[in-house]
Amino acid sequence: MDNNSMNEEKLRQACCEGNLDLAQCLIAAGVDINSHNKINGWTALHWASKRGHIGICKLLCSAGADKSVVNDQQKTPVDVACNKTVHDLLSEDDSTWQRSAEKQGTGNSFVPNYLTNPVFVHSLPPDNVQKQTQTRQISGINMTKEFQPEVGGFLYQPDCVRLVGANKFTPCGFPVHPDELILKVRIASGSNLDFTEMSINRKSKITMEHFKYLLQQHFSESSFKINFIRKMPNTIIQCEQDISRLTDYQEIEVVLAPDEQWKNTLF
C-alpha 20/C-alpha 3 separation (Å) is 21
CATH number of the domain located at residue range(s) 3-123 in this protein: 1.25.40.20
Where do the CATH 3.10.20.90 domains begin and end in the chain?
A: 161-266
Give how far the C-alpha of residue 215 lies from the chain's centroid of Cα atoms, to the nearest Å.
23
Fold held by 161-266? Ubiquitin-like (UB roll) (3.10.20)
Q: Are 62 and 81 in contact (CB under 8 A)?
A: no
Per-residue pLDDT of the chain (267 residues; tens, 9 = 90+): 577 888 899 999 989 888 888 889 889 888 999 999 988 999 999 999 999 999 999 999 999 999 999 999 999 999 999 888 888 899 876 665 555 555 554 445 555 655 554 544 433 444 443 333 344 444 454 444 433 333 457 888 877 887 877 778 777 778 888 889 999 999 987 677 899 999 999 888 889 999 999 998 898 876 678 999 999 999 999 999 899 999 999 999 999 887 655 454 443
The SS3 assignment for 92 reads coil
Report the predicted TM-score, pTM, of the whole model to 2 decimal places.
0.44
Q: pLDDT per residue over 108-143, tens digit each?
A: 555 565 555 454 443 344 444 333 334 444 445 444
In a 10 Å sphere around its CB, with 0-12 CB exposed, 13-18 middle and 19+ buried, how is residue 224 labelled? buried
Where do the CATH 1.25.40.20 domains begin and end in the chain?
A: 3-123
30-37 long-range CB contacts below 8 Å, 24 or more apart?
A: 31/4, 31/7, 32/4, 32/8, 33/60, 33/63, 33/64, 33/65, 34/65, 34/66, 34/69, 35/5, 35/8, 35/11, 36/69, 36/71, 37/9, 37/12, 37/112
Residue 184: beta bridge partners?
Answer: 197, 251
